[in-house]
Chain A
Amino acid sequence: MNLIDVLILLSTTMGLLTALSIVVLSLTWLERKFLGRIQMRMGPMRVGPYGLLQPIADAIKLMSKEDVLPGWVDKVVYWVAPLIVFVPTFMIWITIPVAKDLAIRNMDMGLLYIVAFSVLSMVGLVAAGWASANKYAVLGGFRAAAQLVSYEIPLILATLGVAMLAQSMNLVTIVDQQQIGLPYIFVQPLGLFLFFTAGLAELGRTPFDIHHAESEVVGGPFVEYSGMHWAVFFLAEYINTFAIGALTTLLFLGGWTFPGLPTDILPIGITIFLIKTYMVILVIFWIRGTYPRLRIDQLMALGWQVLVPLAFLNIILTAIYMFYGWPVWSSTIMSAGILIATFWGLSVHMKTAPAPVYTVKLYTPPAQEA
């Protein structure tokens, strides 16, 4: 490896890090503004026009904060945990293409690589919880472990359906296939639902935010962290959000392609890709503003009793559809039918079990004699 190679490596890494940091800054601003809109507030307004400089002010605040090291923690694990969380989230971006020819390294097994690396950050969460030696942190860490392990399976199985349709695990090929045919949202709506739901759980976002639920475990694994170490967790969380948004876009929404636009030209492709990704992320924020949080047993039940069987069903359907070479609309109908049936079933189940709703009624006492 000569000097040029090293320089290229360093500059790409720094470039990626810068780009992701800018994305994270924009996401924090967007989340606060968007949630503010949902909740009839303005969101940040003071720093810069429309509060645009707020994320930068926050970053400066976090950097200048004292990094507290509690006396009882396991020092090595405590300091390393943020890195274990951050590095995998950063690593998966190496193979995510942002436009047709814009990926740091386009791998043939890109999907597998992403799936493999995204599991690793869970270790960091457990380590952070354990090393903090705080009851809330430990509980949060274990919750994170249980949750991430269960939801990894439907996530992987959902991506498998896409890989079968595209006959490839290369993300660029997957997008190209969608450009030739239809975006996979129209072919496999069930797959999109599975991927997105499991993705939300992987991110630990509402309604699956049980590992850092404020009202139950305070801040979860991060409760003892402060300053830059906390900021690294925060950064990882938002990069992950962006990654799930990007993957949803690439796998189901046709990536950087758009009918009728010359999206092979780099700036147009990037713009289309970013617009789609931010739309997906806005949906994530929207859900956060609307839904309460699930309980841990309900979370596990949803994962293992609903999502995993559905994911297998999705794969079987895809296999049948591919094997017999049925027309595209047959897959759409099957997939959408199962999805609607699931929604209906879940809704009925939740409104009847364990007790039916509409139990509150008005009682008017019998008229008393004057």
Chain B
Amino acid sequence: MVLSVDGERVVDMEPHIGYLHRGSEKLCENELYVQIVTLFDRLDYISNLNNEMAFCRAVEKLMGLEVPERAEFIRVILCELNRVASHLLFVGTFGIDAGAMTPILYTFRDREKIQSMFEAVTGARMMHNFIRIGGVKSDVPEDFTDRVKLLRDELIQGINETDKLLSFNEIFLARTKGVGTIDADSAIAYGMSGPSLRACGVPMDVRKDEPYSVYDRFDFGIPIGENGDSWDRYYVRVEEMRQSLKIIDQALEQMPDGPTITPTRFILRPPAGEVYVRGENPRGEIGVYLVSNGTDRPYRVKIRPPSFCNLMALKEMIKNTYLADAVVILGSLDIVLGEVDR
């Protein structure tokens, strides 16, 4: 990010991206379908499971593959936990951006519990490769329900603690209220999505608009803001964590027994054709456009990364603010560079 400043005021800014470019989309064309899941893990490395889910759904849609119900529930629970973990990290780092050093240690404590949970279920803390085409890799451990319930209580307590510490702190309000405001029309024009768009008052959530997986069976609200400023973007995420926990609660209640994966061949050859799938990532809407020519490798994979589209609006928000605000605004968009550059 190159800033032109006049004293403490930011006159202009130019985002310089591309330092983390790994050519993921091109790499996808050379890998087997089962191998691509691991590449999606490495896009947005804070919300791996949501990425895996998007790709697997794309392939399943192309092949017309049925996913067992139990697998869908496991996916939803894990994805929502992943969303909570991602937002927790956001709350902590946003605190650091505003100069508060304590919240990150509290949110990391809670995130660590989620990571341990993931480790117990998937065997890895970050690069899970757990959601597979046709289901999930394996069934969850026996004590999964009890552990998630325990985790949920701890998380609610943790979120409330951080909320008390940071959200309504007068200085924090002064730093974030009315900072980096963007109105709903320009936000839509820039292609923003996810919490950043919802903070402008647009109730757009793929989980509600186009319910995928089993999201249509749960009762949850969409937190929306009013002003589209940094504080709204922050608090929408805090509220979203609570809604995610609500979804997890309902999913645990309704989880059926049964198989967790539809057996497929190791080397998949989806029929020739193209498919576009969208899903709600913690950072916004992820889109996967997949073109198959009938071979064992995709012809083209195009990813619509939420961070990249949100980042494009940064220039408009940052102009004519203070230098210290630039840090807060960038933080409030919650971008992950692994996803911006792919």
Contact = CB atoms under 8 A, between A and B. Distances in A.
Interface of A: 35, 38-41, 139, 143, 206-207, 209-210, 213, 215-217, 288-298, 346-347, 350-351, 353-355, 357, 359-365
Nearest to B221: A362
B52 interface: no
A317 B38 CA distance: 71
Contacts of B172: 292
B227 A355 contact: yes
A352 to B, nearest CB: 9
Interface string B155-180: 00000000001101111111101100
Contacts of B227: 355, 359
Contact of B225 (A40, A289, A353, A359): A359
B32 interface: no
A215 B101 CA distance: 11
Given A292-B99, A292-B172, A363-B224, A210 B208 contact: no
Contact of B174 (A216, A289, A296, A298): A298
Contacts of B174: 294-295, 298, 350
Given A40-B105, A354-B178, A292 B224 contact: no
Interface residues of B, number: 46
A297 B322 contact: yes
Given A40-B109, A292-B166, A365-B222, 11 more contacts: A40-B105, A41-B105, A215-B97, A293-B99, A298-B174, A357-B168, A357-B173, A360-B223, A360-B225, A362-B224, A363-B221
A295 B327 CA distance: 11
By secondary structure, the B interface counts as helix
Q: Shortest 6 CB-CB distances between A and B: which pairs? A: A293-B99, A362-B221, A354-B178, A359-B226, A292-B100, A292-B98
Contact of A364 (B100, B171, B222, B236): B222
A215 B96 contact: yes
Interface of B: 8, 95-102, 105-106, 109, 165-166, 168-175, 177-178, 199, 203, 208, 221-227, 229, 231-232, 235-236, 239, 243, 322-325, 327
22 contacts: A39-B101, A206-B99, A289-B101, A290-B100, A292-B166, A293-B98, A293-B99, A293-B171, A293-B175, A296-B322, A350-B173, A355-B178, A359-B227, A359-B231, A360-B223, A360-B225, A360-B232, A360-B236, A360-B239, A362-B222, A362-B243, A365-B203
B165 A290 contact: yes
Contacts of B97: 215
A359 B169 contact: no
Contact of A354 (B177, B226, B322): B177
A353 B226 CA distance: 14
A89 B170 CA distance: 32
A88 B292 CA distance: 74
A294 B102 contact: no
Contacts of B223: 360-363
B165 A292 contact: no
A210 B178 CA distance: 20
A216 B239 CA distance: 28
Contacts of B106: 39-40
B110 to A, nearest CB: 11
